[in-house]
Amino acid sequence: MDNPLPENENAKGGWKQDPAGVQANILEIATMVFAEHGLSGTRIDEIAARTRTSKRMIYYYFGDKEGLYARVLEAAYAKVREGEASLDLDGLPPTEALSRLVTFTFDHHRAHPDFIRLVMIENVHQADYLQKSDVIRRVNTAAIDRLAAIIRRGEETGDFCHGLDPVALHWKISALSFFNVSNRPTFSALFGTTLFSETAQRRLRDDVAAMVLASVRKTP
């Protein structure tokens, strides 16, 4: 940053030696707290108490609570998109590439319920902070471009029907994977937890991938 770090800051973990690590620690803790309490219910004091640094340094790095929340959102979206980028989908046949993307999304959302809660919270705020973020728009544009490339290859090989909309396809994948996490408490209360065992979740993940593939395959 352009401004020098505050002097005489006796934080809890040696930020002078590792400012990037301290910021990562703040974002990790803030993600959990925002996901648990929402934007309005979160207090910087609580975040600071659980990090390796101080409240003063949180304000120094992120400006205010809303600035920290915006950065948490950006980091959460970047993480899922980085995971997608690491799948090396361009080297796979289109049907296998799409299947791998679907299973990754299902598994990622299940393994990161805080991300789902943050998205739910942002929907409560009418996507106000998301719309202000160039970072989130950029990383999500890459997600649509990735799907468009898979669709284009599938059309060329004759595996996929023509005229598929990558945004609509992204919606299907997201909806099926998102509901599995967002509605787990209410679904479990109504119908029991059997569907959320490891075996049932693997079967459900494979079914979701099959459903998405069935929706794009070219009809003989």
Q: Note the pLDDT of residue 16.
A: 58
Instruction: Indicate the domain borders of the chain.
Output: 93-216
Nearest to 15 by CA among 75, 66, 73, 60: 60
For the chain, how big is the Rg over CA atoms in Å? 20
Q: Is the pLDDT of residue 145 over 80?
A: yes
The DSSP code for 194 is: G
What are 66-118's pLDDT values in tens digits? 999 999 999 999 999 999 999 989 989 999 999 999 999 999 999 999 999 99
The chain-wide mean pLDDT, for the chain, equals: 91
Cβ 152 vs Cβ 93: under 8 Å: no
pLDDT tens column, 14-32 = 455 688 889 999 999 999 9
Nearest one of 209, 78, 77, 218 to 151, comparing CA atoms: 218
Topology of the domain comprising 93-216: Tetracycline Repressor; domain 2 (1.10.357)
pLDDT on residue 184:
97
Percent of the chain with pLDDT over 70: 92
Instruction: Indicate the residue type of 68.
Output: L
Please state the rounded mean pLDDT for residues 179-195: 97
Q: Determine what percent of the chain is predicted with pLDDT higher than 90.
A: 87
- Quote the pTM value: 0.87
Buried/exposed 13-43: b ≥16 CB within 10 Å, e otherwise:
eebeeebeebbebbbebbbebbbeebbeebe
